[in-house]
Amino acid sequence: MHMNRREFLQLLAVAAASGMALDSKSALAGKAPANFYDVPRHGNVSFMHFTDCHAQLMPVWFREPNVNLGIGSANGKAPHLVGRHLLKKFGIKPGSAEAHAFTYLDFTEAAKVYGKVGGFAHLKTLVDKIRAQRPGALLLDGGDTWQGSATSLWTNAQDMVDACIALGVNIMTPHWESTFGAERVMEIVNGDFKKAGIDFVAQNVVTNDFGDQVFKPYVMKEMNGVKVAIIGQAFPYTPIANPRWMVPDWSFGIRDDGMQKWVDDARANGAKVVIVLSHNGMDVDLKMAGRVTGIDAIFGGHTHDGVPQPVKIRNAKGVTLVTNAGSNGKFLGVMDFDVRGGKIQSYQYRLLPVFSNLLPADPAMDALITKVRAPYEDKLSEKLAVTDDFLYRRGNFNGTWDQLLVDALMEVKGADAAFSPGFRWGTTLLPGDAITMERLMDQTAITYPQTTLTEMTGETIKSIMEDVADNLFNTDPYYQQGGDMVRVGGIEYTINPTKKIGQRISNMTLKGKPVDANTVYKVAGWAPVGEGAQGEPVWDVVAAYLRDKKVIKGLKLNEPRIVGIGKSNLGIADYRGGLS
Amino acid sequence: MNALRRNVLKGAAGAGTVAIAVAAGLLKPTQAMAAWNKSAFEAKNVGDAMKGLGVAGPADSKEITIKAPDIAENGAVVPVEVTSSIAGTTSIAILAEKNATPLVGTYNMAGGTQGYISTRIKMGQTSLVRAVVNAGGKSYTAAKEVKVTIGGCGG
Q: Measured between beta carbons, which residues in chain A are less than 8 angstroms from residue B4?
A: 528-530
How close A338 comes to chain B (CA, Å)? 34
User: Chain A partners of B80 at a C-beta cutoff of 8 Å?
Assistant: none
C-alpha closest to that of A449 among A576, A534, A574: A534
Mean pLDDT calculated for residue range A13-17: 40
List all residues 6 or more positions away from B63 whose beta carbon is below 8 Å from its beta carbon: B84, B85, B86, B140
Judged by CB atoms closer than 8 Å, whether chains meet at A456 and B3 is answered as no
Q: What are phi and psi of A403, to 5 degrees?
A: -60, -45
Strands (E), A234-330: 250-251, 273-278, 297-300, 311-315, 318-324
- Do the Cβ atoms of B1 and A528 come within 8 Å? yes
Cβ of A460 within 8 Å of Cβ of B5? The answer is yes
Q: Are A352 and A334 in contact (CB under 8 A)?
A: yes
A319 φ, ψ (degrees, to nearest 5): -125, 140
Q: Give the pLDDT of residue A415.
A: 97
Which chain B residues touch A239 with a CB distance below 8 Å? 73-74
Q: How confident is the model at residue A44 (pLDDT cuts 50, 70, 90)?
A: very high
- Say if CB A214 and CB A205 are below 8 A apart: yes
Average pLDDT over residues A40-57: 98
ipTM of the modeled complex: 0.84
Instruction: Name chain B contacts of A449, Cβ cutoff 8 Å.
Output: none
Residue-wise pLDDT tens digits, A344-374: 999 999 999 999 999 999 999 999 999 999 9
8 A C-beta contact, residue A397 and residue A485: yes
Nearest CA in chain B to A530: B4
pLDDT at residue A14 tops 70: no
Q: How far apart are CA A522 and CA A473, in angstroms?
A: 27
Residue A16 pLDDT > 90, yes or no? no
Question: Closest chain A residue to B145 measured between Cα atoms?
Answer: A479
Instruction: Give the pLDDT of residue B3.
Output: 42
H/E element, A122: helix A120-133
Q: Is the peptide bond before A363 cis (omega within 30 degrees of 0)?
A: no
How crowded is residue B57: how many other Cβ atoms within 10 Å of its Cβ?
Answer: 7
For A386: left if phi > 0, alpha if psi spans -120 to 50, otherwise beta; the answer is beta
For residue A551, what are the contacts with CB-CB under 8 A and spacing of at least 6?
A385, A386, A387, A388
Q: What is the mean pLDDT of residues A26-53?
A: 79
Cβ <8 Å between A530 and B7:
yes
Q: Is B5 an 8 Å CB contact of chain A? A: yes
Number of neighbouring beta carbons within 10 Å of residue A208: 17
CA–CA separation, B113 vs A244, rounded Å? 37
pLDDT at B13: 33
Give the span between the Cα atoms of A187 and B128, in whole angstroms.
40
Q: Domains for chain A: give ranges and CATH numbers.
A: 4-24+50-60+116-370 (3.60.21.10), 381-562 (3.90.780.10)
Between residues 25 and 84 of chain B, which touch chain A (CB distance below 8 Å)?
67, 69-74, 79
Residues of A in contact with B153 (CB under 8 A): 241, 421-423, 468, 471, 481, 483, 486, 527
Q: Number of residue pairs across A and B with CB atoms under 8 Å?
A: 102
Largest CA distance in chain B: 50
Residues of chain B scoring pLDDT < 70: 1-35, 153-155
What residues does A233 pair with on adjacent strands? A278
Report the C-alpha gap between A61 and A166 in whole angstroms.
24
pLDDT at B30: 45
End-to-end CA, chain B: 15
Mean pLDDT across A518-533: 95
* pLDDT-derived band at A20, boundaries 50, 70, 90: very low
Q: How confident is the model at residue A36 (pLDDT cuts 50, 70, 90)?
A: confident
Residues of B with CB below 8 A from A460's CB?
Answer: 5
- Rounded CA-CA distance A62/A355 in Å is 12
How far apart, in Å, are the Cα atoms of A96 and each of A106, A114, A305, A482?
11, 10, 19, 29
> Would residue A461 be called left, alpha or beta, if left means φ above 0 and alpha means ψ between -120 and 50 degrees?
alpha
- To the nearest whole angstrom, how far is the Cα of B7 from the nearest Cα of chain A? 10
Angle at A280 between CA A262 and CA A192, to 5 degrees: 75
Whether A300 contacts A288, CB under 8 Å: no
What are the strands, taking DSSP E only, across A25-91? 45-50
Is the confidence at residue A513, as pLDDT, over 70? yes
The strand order across the sheet containing A491-495 reads: A513-514, A505-510, A491-495, A561-562
Chain mean pLDDT for chain A = 94
B79 vs A contacts (CB less than 8 Å): 251
Task: Note the pLDDT of residue B2.
Answer: 43
**Percent residues over pLDDT 90 in chain A:** 92
Does B154 sit within 8 Å of A464, measured CB to CB?
Answer: no
Please state, in angstroms and rounded to a whole number, the distance separating the CA atoms of residues A101 and B3: 40
pLDDT tens digits, one per residue of B67-85: 999 999 999 999 999 999 9
Which one is predicted more confidently, A7 or B39? B39
Q: What is the DSSP string of B7-44?
A: HHHHHHHSPP-EEE-PPTTSS-HHHHHHT--HHHHT-S
C-alpha to C-alpha distance for A267 and A292, rounded to whole angstroms: 13
Nearest to A282 by CA among A471, A477, A146, A424: A477
Classify domain B2-146 by CATH architecture.
Answer: Sandwich (2.60)
Q: Can you give the pLDDT at residue A403? A: 98
Inter-chain CB proximity B154 and A482 less than 8 Å? yes
Q: What is the pLDDT of residues A234-279, one digit of tens each?
A: 999 999 999 999 999 999 999 999 999 999 999 999 999 999 999 9
pLDDT score recorded for residue B20: 35
CB A419 within 8 A of CB B152: no
**B70·A529 Cβ contact <8 A:** no
